Amino acid sequence: MLQRIADLDRRFHAYVTVTTDLALAQARAADAAIHAGNYRGPLHGIPIALKDLCYTKGIATTCGAQMFGDFVPEQDGTVTRKLADAGTVLLGKLHMTEFALRWHHPYRPIPVNPWGKGRWPGVSSSGSGVAVATGLCYGAIGTDTGGSIRFPAAANGVVGLKPTYGRVSRAGVFPLAGSLDNVGPLTRTVADAAIWLRAIAGHDPLDPTSSTLPVPDYPAELAKGLQGIRIGVDEAYLTEGVQPAVSQAVLAAVAVLRELGAELVTVTVPEPNLDEMVKAWYLLTAADALVAHEGIYPQRRDEYGPFHELLDDGAKASAQDY
């Protein structure tokens, strides 16, 4: 896998840091443990990668920002630790947009969608989507505040899972907007996503927003099939303003769900006011981001790339607006 990264990543720009020595040491340790009968589960020995806002002890965590180029955390984040405890092999850290919004920093490479040069790679977790799609890791962590797991997954043709808020700890993950951020996996298959979620989910005292509910056995639940599950389909969303290829892909997925035992029900979803929804999301994100960057902004405003625009808007927002 390390050789594959060396051969291909110059084309795809998924990795900002490759942790060669660590990966080899973890692989040897995993091999020895498994041979000794100390198998930790389905992620033991599996090569993975992390979006570069997940704290990694002793390894640079740049958050896609030039100004964070020298930031090296003193501790692992909770998700980083949980994946290490599961026996994974960390290949490295993945490129992302500046502080996880929509802009890549002008001095940093943009990950390349493997389905065609010039195609969109997704937003902030673009490196994660590209790395999984090109086989430069077997799975990756992304974060999602307004689509940043789902968009790269869709753009690169992989599975992306945005968990319910609080299902996965955000401790040791640099925030974009604390009230909206979610941490989740990007994988090659749905079964892999279930395995990843079981490994990273659970309450964390370091994250007061993390859920105290028990963690289900997601792979076992997945194996039960879809009998008894009702899924609503609003056909209006498949015809209005949607390219035919997208509609065909959704209908193909609907057919698979029906074959797996789900009951498909035609529904009508009231048309949302998307403009107002986006405005509300942007305001909440800007205000939350301003809190996350306290002590950095506005003191170092000139060191930001385009991300400072979000912070500028957050600084203008009043409590009444929020």
Catalytic residues: 51, 124, 148
State whether the Cα torsion 39-54-51-57 is positive or negative: negative
Distance CA 82, CA 59 (A): 17
Residues sharing a CB contact under 8 Å with residue 210, sequence separation 6 or more, in sequence order: 166, 167, 168, 169, 170, 171, 202, 203, 204
Residue 201: beta bridge partners?
168
CA distances from 220 to 4, 177, 267 (A): 33, 33, 30
Residue 265: beta bridge partners?
232
CB 297 within 8 A of CB 304: yes
Distance CA 315, CA 322 (A): 12
